[in-house]
Amino acid sequence: MPSRYFLEQPPVGDTATLADSEAHHLAHVLRAKAGEEVLLFDGSGLEYRAVIEKVGRSEVQLRVLGSETVDREASRAVTLAVALPKGDRQRWLTEKAVELGVARLIPIETRRGVAQPSDNALERLRRAVVEASKQCGRNRLMEITPAVRWEQLVGQATSGQTCFVAHPGGSSGSLASQLTQLPAEAPVVLAVGPEGGFTEEEIAAATAAGWKTADLGRRILRVETAALVLATLAIHGAA
């Protein structure tokens, strides 16, 4: 497969322009030349074949040869609501969620949360979404929403989708067994708390709003591990 690059703006007619980091990588890292062919995507689901026409200092001009809709999305729309861990673990979680096919990531603010996501941090994670999408072949970008307080999310998320919250010893049973009771394409929300877990009050608020608890076994998992286990069960169990 030719190298893939992300277009901040869709092509205009048969002309496309790469700028900023995408242009820099193509022009100065790979030292691409006019006449070479690449693949482009703009997050809309389309994939474009294009040929380089001009390599400038800060942008690359390309001519679009054709486009097609290439769907590599999961059959089930999965939203991960996560109390983000600290440091580089946020980026790692984001990259793997993209690779697995998660549709949306919602950073949540909880009582015991240790990393309150800033606007700058979320922008860095959105850039990580682009890089991971280039690598794994997704043509739609995983959405990263602004941070939401747990109490707000609990009351809003249950419309049209089944919501699960990871909780050791959860009375609803394992996620795998509960997913077998849903249609394969039924959308789900999966919530993971901080390292110290959700408080009993936070769990009670969720179950009162119709959320189901999901037990991930006898071992306590780190935030990113639990999030990716849940996503894997929900997405690949529906494949």
Poorest-confidence range of 67-76, 80-89, 158-167, 201-210?
Answer: 158-167
- 106 and 173 in a common domain: yes
Q: Tell me the average pLDDT across 40-66.
A: 94
Domain boundary among 69, 95, 125: 69
Domain range enclosing 16: 4-69
- 217 and 113 in a common domain: yes
Domain boundary among 69, 87, 114: 69
Looking at the predicted structure, is the pLDDT value of residue 150 above 70? yes
Tokens representing 183 are 């249609």
pLDDT on residue 70: 93
Domain boundary among 69, 89, 107: 69
- 177 and 215 in a common domain: yes
- 84 and 39 in a common domain: no
pLDDT on residue 65: 96
pLDDT band (50, 70, 90) for residue 170: low
- 148 and 31 in a common domain: no
- 133 and 30 in a common domain: no
Q: Supply the DSSP string of the chain, one letter for each residue.
A: ---EEE-SS--BTTEEEEEHHHHHIIIIIS---TT-EEEEE-SBSEEEEEEEEEE-SSEEEEEEEEEEE-----SS-EEEEE---STHHHHHHHHHHHHHT--EEEEEE-TT-S----HHHHHHHHHHHHHHHHHHT-SBPPEEPPPEEHHHHHHHTTTTSEEEEE-TT-TT-BHHHHHTTS-TT--EEEEE--TT---HHHHHHHHHTT-EEEB--SSPPPHHHHHHHHHHHHHHT--
pLDDT on residue 163: 95
Tokens representing 124 are 């860095």
- Give the mean pLDDT of the chain: 91
pLDDT on residue 58: 86
Looking at the chain, the whole-number percentage of residues with pLDDT higher than 70 is: 97
pLDDT on residue 77: 95
Q: What gap in Å lies between CA 187 and CA 189, rounded to an integer?
A: 7
pLDDT on residue 201: 96
pLDDT on residue 239: 42
- 110 and 217 in a common domain: yes
At 93-130, the pLDDT tens digits run 999 999 999 999 999 999 998 877 888 999 999 999 99
- 143 and 54 in a common domain: no
Poorest-confidence range of 60-69, 141-150, 216-225?
Answer: 216-225
pLDDT band (50, 70, 90) for residue 171: low
- 166 and 132 in a common domain: yes
Tokens representing 214 are 């999901």
pLDDT on residue 2: 66
Q: What CATH code is carried by the domain that includes residue 215?
A: 3.40.1280.10
pLDDT on residue 1: 58
Q: What CATH code is carried by the domain that includes residue 57?
A: 2.40.240.20
- 131 and 93 in a common domain: yes
